Amino acid sequence: MSDFKIEDILNELGVKAENSGTSTGQKNFGSGEVIESKSPVDGKLIAKVTTTTKEEYDEVIKTSQEAFKTWRMMPAPQRGEIVRQFGDKLREKKDALGKLVSYEMGKSLQEGWGEVQEMIDICDFAVGLSRQLYGLTMHSERPKHRMYEQWHPMGTVGIISAFNFPVAVWSWNTALAWACGDVCVWKPSEKTPITGVACQNIMAEVLKENNLPEGISCLINGGREIGEYMSNDGRIPLVSATGSTRMGREVGTAVAKRLGKSLLELGGNNAIIITENADLDATLVGAVFGAVGTAGQRCTSTRRLIIHESMYDEVKTKLKKAYSQLRIGDPLDMNNHVGPLIDTMAADMYEDAIKKAKEEGGTVLVEGGRLEGAGYESGCYVKPCIIEVESHYKIVCTETFAPILYIMKYKDLDEAIAIQNNVPQGLSSAIMTTNMRESERFLSAEGSDCGIANVNIGTSGAEIGGAFGGEKETGGGRESGSDAWKAYMRRQTNTINYSTEVPLAQGIKFDL
């Protein structure tokens, strides 16, 4: 591993060997079972975290509801000021938190820091937003009446996040929710609970410095049952969940059953269309980073390349060459391109997907496989692989969270767009072309059906300024930029009569 001690990092972030996984701010508790977080980098134990019992969960929600009474009445720009201070603390801790993300999750150090940068950026965004929670005004059909709408805070927002972006996704939700006047209860992934403790510590410090009550930022830990408590809990008006489609379906249906709101950001099966007019050198960077970056564990990772038949052989040759240069190993070593998968179960799933692709008739272009021996002791390191397939294979229509790239041919753009859209997921998509007709077609109503559609950049690495999320089995939610904040507030329409008459709408007469 590179030249820092994990103990120093944990120290700087206030993480102990054994941590309470339940927190309402200054108050830390949690007497449930213990989760041991082991690094996929070297298989070593990082630290332990206790899970949250049902009673403790109830206490957290109660505390958050009390805090909401204070927080919702604080003027939004003042809440923005708290988020600004949180962003500043993140700037101070960027190095340490980025390293911890990299070590606990297994992504490259550059990406670990990048993730913290996303947190900082969304804080800046939310600070500005805190003065821009605009509603519209309308012209009333009645004389001397005024109509307008306001956006009010909703209450306790439940956040369920995934291991692959263990800190950024939390902050996309919290930075906006806090500016909007909501309080937050976060259940991080059981696979990355330590970064959760570290983030909670940072925000707790900010809240303490500002004498704010317990419950504005809460942490809970545990498995599926904790997600179920939140989904079924009528005290939580909004549950925002990021993760697998299987998980999202459970959360979404449970929340819908009680007519609550959910914001789902689930699986992707992202494709790049490489047309005959593509600039191949530019294409390659986007495609290879998209496929192997974060070891293929982004929901925006590139899983499919749909290549024009005239370019197919050339792209294949270039891909083979690029993949032969990939260095796989310790993600904290900046010379490596590809780190480990999150755990050995993920490596099993990777192997299984390759097997299925072969059974369905796929031809391996770049061979995959697990890595063993010195430096690979955790058992989580795998080789990025490329398989030539037909678009209809079952495995090709499934999201496998691993560096497996499926490549296929097309004849005309209609066919390419149909292939790209013909999967259950709808998160991210891209076209590589220098031809304006092709790119505009791809972006039109009959083009990509995804929440994100790019031209001449890959499918992953979205900026925080845009709304992030996708359609179909991706869940339909939008987080982060643009007007995604509206999901965290309730809209109220107000009609004010300043006349001495009481005219009814629609011209209805009702005389007493």
Stretch that binds ligand UN1, among 85-93, 352-360, 459-467, 495-503 (CB under 6 A): 459-467
Report which residue type is found at 41.
V
Binding of ligand UN1 by 53 (CB under 6 A): no
- For ligand UN1, the closer of residues 60 and 264 by Cβ is 264
Tell me the C-alpha distance between 325 and 135, whole Å.
53
Binding-residue total with ligand UN1 (CB under 6 A):
10
Shortest Å distance, C-beta 59 to ligand UN1: 30
232: Cβ contacts below 8 Å, ≥ 6 apart: 254, 257, 258
- Contact with ligand UN1 (CB under 6 A) among 462, 484, 487, 489: 462
Q: Is 154 in the site for ligand UN1 (CB under 6 A)?
A: no
Out of 130, 242, 420, 474, point to the residue binding ligand UN1 (CB under 6 A): 242
Question: Rounded to whole angstroms, how far apart are CA atoms 20 and 38?
Answer: 17
How many helices, marked H, and strands, marked E, lie in the chain?
Answer: 13, 24
Near ligand UN1 in 254-313, by CB under 6 A: 298-300
Catalytic position from the list 56, 59, 104, 265: 265
Task: Report the nearest approach of ligand UN1 to the CB of residue 113 (Å).
Answer: 13
160 to 179, contacts with ligand UN1 by CB under 6 A?
164-165, 169
The CA-atom distances, in angstroms, between 107 and each of 98, 99, 250, 261, 494 are 10, 10, 28, 32, 49
Residue sitting closest to ligand UN1 (CB) = 462
Rounded to a whole number of angstroms, the minimum distance from the CB of residue 268 to ligand UN1 is 8
Q: What CA–CA distances, in Å, run from 106 to 69, 349, 378, 455?
A: 40, 17, 11, 29
Which residues are paired to 385 by β-bridges?
404
Between the two ends of the chain, the Cα-to-Cα distance in Å is 84
User: Mind spelling out the 3-state secondary structure of 298-340?
Assistant: CCCCEEEEEEECCCHHHHHHHHHHHHHCCCECCCCCCCCCECC
Q: How far is the CB of 301 from ligand UN1 (least distance, A)?
A: 8
Query: In sequence order, what are the residues at sequence separation of 6 or more whose Cβ sits closer than 8 angstroms to the Cβ of residue 235?
Result: 61, 65, 155, 156
> Minimum distance between the CB of residue 242 and ligand UN1, rounded to whole angstroms?
6
Q: Does 119 sit near ligand UN1 (CB under 6 A)? A: no
Q: Between the CA of residue 316 and those of 173, 367, 451, 457, what are the distances in Å?
A: 40, 13, 28, 19
265 is catalytic: yes
Q: Does 125 bind ligand UN1 (CB under 6 A)?
A: no
Residue 307 vs 462, nearer CB to ligand UN1: 462
Q: Is 461 in the site for ligand UN1 (CB under 6 A)?
A: yes
Name the site residues for ligand UN1 (rule: CB under 6 A): 164-165, 169, 242, 298-300, 460-462
Give the catalytic positions in this structure. 265
